[in-house]
Each structure stands twice: as structure tokens, then as C-alpha cells.
């Protein structure tokens, strides 16, 4: 009798610890040492009339949890395609609920543990339905701390490299622009000098033509006057009578 009582006490205190289901991570295992990856499940379940089916899926804190469902077919009398879906956190809080033939549920996991998804066919008292499910967790934001530091360092180096490349490109572009501006200014100065030279040449030619025209005009007038005097000196003018005529 004493042995049975001792066995019963040992089973009562130690049996649930070693034989019961483990619903939380082990105490000496950190959250980062658990399996990180994209878990995805696609399958169909058959819900009996007024039946409920619950599924648990593990998710880590801060990761993205998604659930897609769609009623494929309903058989029975007075069937209704509406399906009641609820998602609860590991602590039992309601995250989201949908009552429709198809729907989507997405949220960021605030707790680490097994999230409960329940599918209820209480709209159909005499009909059975088949539901297609697609749910899972994807870890696109988690990174190992060492890898995160390495990637941040690489990103900083790439940013620094891009910045240096950008500065080098800007410096090269500035040198090119400066060179082009210098040549443009040189050509502009050369054009101005050429224009000034042409202007002064035209001014000089104009003065030259003006002076020579004036000089030649005076020379022509003087020559004409002298020629007239010379021709006039060839004729002798005397007072003569009516019978006498002037002669050379």
C-alpha cells in the first residue's frame, strides 16, 4: 500500500513535467537560438456541421504572422458559406476575427509562443464544409547580431564608397565644367578682341578715306583753278574797236 502511494505521488508531481506537451521554449535556450526561417503551410480541413477546428502555430516576437482561408465547398441542407475565424495570442487575447467565406489576417506577433487559430462552422447546423488554409510566419526583419553588425558595417562602407564616388564624380564634373567655361571665356574674349580690331580697322579706314577724299577734292579744285588761270593768261584782252577782233 505504501509503495502504491509513493508511486502515485511520484507520478502526480513528476509525470506532467516529463510527459506533458511543451508549450514554451526551454529555459536555458534563448530566443535567438531557436529555428528562424519561413514556415508556410497549405492544406484543407473538413469541418462538420456546427463543428470547430483549432490549429496552433509558433511565432516569435516582432515577426509577421499571416493567415489566408477560403471555403471550397459546402454540402448539406440549408448550407451557408460563411466561416467564423478567430486568432488568439499565446496568452489568450483575441488578435483578429473574420466571419466570411474567404479572408486574410495579417499582424505582427507581439508575443513569442503558439498562436491559436480556430475555425467554426456554427452557421451550418446540418452542412459540412471544406476550408483551404494557408498560414505561416516569415522572418524578414530578424538578423543575427553579429551578421547585423557586419551588414551595417558593409552598408556604411558602401555608403562611404558611394559618397566618395559621388564626390569624385562631382569633382570631375566640376573640372569639366570649369574647363568648358574657361574655353568659352577664351573664345568670347577672342571674339571681342576680333570685333574690336575690326571696329578700329573700320574706323581707321573711314578716317583714311575721309582725309584722302578731302585732300583729293582740294587738289582737284586747286588744279582746276590753276588750269583756268593758265588758260586765261593765254588770251590778251585789249580795248579794241569794232573792226578789230581779240586774238591770241
Residue 20 has what pLDDT? 39
What is the spatial distance between Cα 231 and Cα 213, in angstroms, rounded to a whole number?
27
Residue 29 has what pLDDT? 46
Residue 145 has what pLDDT? 58
Q: What is the pLDDT of residues 105-154, one digit of tens each?
A: 999 898 988 999 999 999 888 889 999 999 888 765 555 556 667 777 78
Residue 46 has what pLDDT? 92
Which CA distances in Å does 246 have to 197, 231, 233, 241, 243?
Answer: 64, 15, 14, 10, 10
Domain-wise residue ranges, the chain: 32-142, 144-236
Residue 247 has what pLDDT? 57
- Cβ count near 77 (within 10 Å): 9
C-alpha cell at 109: 506577433
What is the spatial distance between Cα 237 and Cα 231, in angstroms, rounded to a whole number?
13
**Which residues of the chain fall below pLDDT 70?**
1-38, 78, 139-148, 236-248
Region 32-142: CATH code? 2.60.120.680
Residue 18 has what pLDDT? 39
pTM across the whole model: 0.46
Residue 238 has what pLDDT? 60
Amino acid at each position: 500500500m505504501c509503495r502504491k502511494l509513493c508511486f502515485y505521488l511520484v507520478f502526480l508531481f513528476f509525470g506532467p513535467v516529463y510527459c506533458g506537451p511543451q508549450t514554451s521554449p526551454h529555459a536555458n535556450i534563448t530566443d535567438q537560438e531557436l529555428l528562424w526561417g519561413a514556415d508556410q503551410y497549405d492544406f484543407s480541413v473538413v469541418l462538420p456541421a456546427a463543428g470547430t477546428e483549432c490549429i496552433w502555430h509558433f511565432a516569435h516576437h516582432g515577426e509577421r504572422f499571416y493567415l489566408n482561408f477560403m471555403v471550397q465547398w459546402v454540402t448539406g441542407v440549408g448550407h451557408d458559406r460563411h466561416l467564423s475565424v478567430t486568432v488568439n495570442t499565446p496568452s489568450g487575447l483575441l488578435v483578429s476575427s473574420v466571419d466570411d467565406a474567404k479572408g486574410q489576417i495579417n499582424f505582427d506577433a507581439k508575443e513569442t509562443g503558439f498562436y491559436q487559430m480556430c475555425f467554426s462552422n456554427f452557421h451550418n447546423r446540418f452542412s459540412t464544409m471544406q476550408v483551404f488554409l494557408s498560414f505561416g510566419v516569415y522572418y524578414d526583419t530578424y538578423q543575427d547580431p553579429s551578421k547585423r553588425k557586419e551588414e551595417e558595417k558593409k552598408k556604411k562602407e558602401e555608403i562611404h564608397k558611394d559618397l566618395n564616388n559621388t564626390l569624385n564624380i562631382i569633382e570631375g564634373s566640376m573640372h569639366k565644367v570649369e574647363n568648358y567655361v574657361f574655353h568659352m571665356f577664351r573664345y568670347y574674349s577672342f571674339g571681342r578682341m576680333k570685333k574690336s580690331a575690326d571696329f578700329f580697322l573700320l574706323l581707321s579706314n573711314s578716317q583714311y578715306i575721309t582725309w584722302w577724299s578731302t585732300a583729293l577734292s582740294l587738289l582737284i579744285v586747286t588744279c582746276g583753278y590753276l588750269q583756268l588761270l593758265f588758260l586765261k593768261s593765254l588770251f590778251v584782252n585789249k580795248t579794241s574797236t569794232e573792226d578789230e577782233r581779240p586774238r591770241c
